[in-house]
Structure 1
Amino acid sequence: MINNLNAFRLKWLPKIDAWLADGIQQDADQKMLGESMAYSVNAGGKRLRPLFTLATLTTLGQPIDDDLLKASCALELMHAYSLIHDDLPAMDNDDLRRGKATNHIVYGAGMATLAGDGLQTLAFQWLVDNHLSDAIKTQLVLALAKAAGPSGMVAGQADDIEFEGTRLSLPQLKKLDRNKTGALIHYSIAAGLIMAQVPPAKQRDLLTFADDYGAAFQIYDDILDVVGTEKQIGKPVHQDADKNTYPNLLGLNGAYQALNQVVQHARQALKSAGQDLRVDVSLLADFCNYFKLKDEKNNGKATS
């Protein structure tokens, strides 16, 4: 088993990218629509979500074949759809994503909307257009529908719109982020558990890790808007001055404290999962190194 994240990425990122590029080309029936869909999916990105699914499968000792890879890549389609719609003039009206012009800037708002629609529905197609068992397919579709739909990501986006200009409490902000950002990260781990056929009673600690990671990911994104650069994060910075973010609610130091706490809790949950499932969780633990934490014992110097 590859238990080093860098080696794991080197192995799987080219396969993820190839599957996404080839699959969209094969399954899109209208030329410009296919180009618009591929433009956003192939624009780069960390591929965090499918990598999480594949890393969960690897951690659990599940060999990864083409069917598992295809089902794992479906989540990246769903994620790309959400970014296209989030950037639209009716939403955040952003011109830049991952260092490139956003989809609606290149293809227009109408085609960009359809590209998002196409990616969303294609994600569900990929979850069932494979040789996995019907039971696994059903569980995956239900889990992704809940994560992406009106009790998950879409609910978070709706809260983002409804409460714009209103200062949320910390519990309200946590709920918004849990849906808007955390739901698909939760699903990325849940999908691996489903495909590896881990009993529900044995899933709790890994799902806790997923929820903690999703929370940390959003807190860190909020922090990067304050301390990062456009080159570093691939989109304009200092855009969240009037939004509900951790630095706006708690201050930058408070946001770092929240990040440190949730990452520590994620690591503890992962350790418990390893003991309960009797597996090596070091590969999943490596994902936590993405966050540059603030070491209060080292004069505030950022650390991994």
Structure 2
Amino acid sequence: MTDLAEFKKQMLPALNELLRLKINHDVSAPTLQAAMRYSVMAGGKRIRPLLMLAVVQTFHADRLPQSLQAAAAIELAHTYSLIHDDLPAMDNDDLRRGQPTNHKKFGEAMAILAGDGLQALAFQWLSNSQFSAGITVELVQQLSSAVGPSNMVAGQVADMEGEKKQLDLTALKALHRQKTGALLKASILMGATVSEVNTQRQQALTNYADHLGLAFQIRDDLLDVTSTAAELGKPVHQDQAANKNTYPALLGLAGTKKALATELVAAKQALTPLVASSDVSLLMAFLTELAV
């Protein structure tokens, strides 16, 4: 059995050091390097790369060392999306992870370029990973699909356009599967690709990822309503101010907590077919962290 806290203790220092060293090595323009490094090293929880690494730990632990660069690429892609989401033309946020957002620190133009640079660098790192050509191509396809116009970008569009109307629950779930869930799901399935799991395990992990992705966003919606800016490290009550479609706005607090619990139970059940042959305690532990 692998404890999640111990797993983080092992993985996070190595992941953070790799991110810092490679950005310093691969980005030569000083201001651009500083802007990219600023957001990447701002203290994120690294949930997405940790999910990928947790899958590798579960099914093919000997491939953990060579998986770090692919996991780091996921974090670059995630950070690019945060920088762009915070821009005045998008969510217009001033605070991220307890610090000024990138455009507040470096200016809007440099923030756009830092996001552009991180997105491109993610695929540079992924294409240079230490895997076979077949695995590498699949990893690139999985990440590019997750952050592209069919998923994360489409989700951001739906989120912006949804400010003008009230979405029903089906449409809200679809939005969140694209905007938030797609990259979380890709992180899990990239771990499955590295581990070369069989069809049964792939399907179980897909189901787990679908429910975990929704649970993650539901919890984020809850925290925007119930937490303080000091606790979250970013402004709160922003969704309501921007007329965004959220679970609390649609279902109320009690209904939202029930929806979260439902998704967490479904995610746990999705792992049930794997219990007989694998120790999935690490993947289960991510669900415990999302419970409220």
- Look up the SS of the partner of 2:239 in the other structure: coil
Shift, 1:132, TM fit:
1.1
Give the aligned partner of residue 31 of structure 1: 30
Please tell me the residue identity of whatever aligns with 2:175: L
**C-alpha spacing 1:8/1:65, structure 2 compared with 1 (3 Å):** closer
Q: How does 1:193-232 map to 2 (within 5 A)?
A: 193-232=192-231
Please tell me the residue identity of whatever aligns with 1:32: T
Shift, 1:109, TM fit:
0.6
Structure 1 stretches of 5 or more lacking a match?
294-304
Matched-pair contact (CA < 8 Å) for 1:219–1:246: yes
Q: Does 1:240 align with 2:239?
A: yes
Matched-pair contact (CA < 8 Å) for 2:52–2:190: yes
Q: Does 1:116 align with 2:115?
A: yes
Give the aligned partner of residue 251 of structure 2: 250
Shift, 1:162, TM fit:
1.5
Shift, 1:243, TM fit:
1.1
Shift, 1:249, TM fit:
0.4
CA distance in 1, matches of 2:91, 2:245: 14
Q: Does 1:63 align with 2:62?
A: yes
Q: How does 1:157-168 map to 2 (within 5 A)?
A: 157-168=156-167
Give the aligned partner of residue 260 of structure 1: 261
- Look up the SS of the partner of 2:163 in the other structure: coil
Structure 2 stretches of 5 or more lacking a match?
none
Give the aligned partner of residue 4 of structure 1: 3
After superposing the two structures, state which structure 1 stretch, 196-205 or 228-237, moved more: 196-205
TM-score, normalized by length of structure 2?
0.97
CA distance in 2, matches of 1:256, 1:238: 17
Give the aligned partner of residue 302 of structure 1: none
Give the aligned partner of residue 45 of structure 1: 44
Deviations 1:134-184 (A, max 9, x none): 001100011111111011101100111122131101000000000000000
Shift, 1:130, TM fit:
2.7
Shift, 1:65, TM fit:
4.8
More helix by share: 2
Please tell me the residue identity of whatever aligns with 1:250: L
Q: Which has the higher contact order (CA 8 A, sep 6+)?
A: 2
Shift, 1:133, TM fit:
0.6
**C-alpha spacing 1:283/1:202, structure 2 compared with 1 (3 Å):** closer
Q: Does 1:172 align with 2:167?
A: no
CA distance in 2, matches of 1:269, 1:65: 24
CA distance in 2, matches of 1:237, 1:50: 25
Matched-pair contact (CA < 8 Å) for 1:140–1:194: yes
Shift, 1:90, TM fit:
0.6
CA distance in 2, matches of 1:90, 1:18: 32
Matched-pair contact (CA < 8 Å) for 2:152–2:178: yes
Matched-pair contact (CA < 8 Å) for 1:49–1:75: yes
Q: How does 1:69-80 map to 2 (within 5 A)?
A: 69-80=68-79
CA distance in 2, matches of 1:192, 1:144: 12
TM-score, normalized by length of structure 1?
0.93
Considering only aligned residues, what root-mean-square deviation do their CA atoms show, in Å?
1.1
Please tell me the residue identity of whatever aligns with 1:202: R
Please tell me the residue identity of whatever aligns with 2:266: H
CA distance in 2, matches of 1:13, 1:130: 19
Matched-pair contact (CA < 8 Å) for 2:53–2:64: no
Please tell me the residue identity of whatever aligns with 1:10: K
Give the aligned partner of residue 286 of structure 1: 285
Matched-pair contact (CA < 8 Å) for 1:206–1:273: no
Give the aligned partner of residue 141 of structure 1: 140
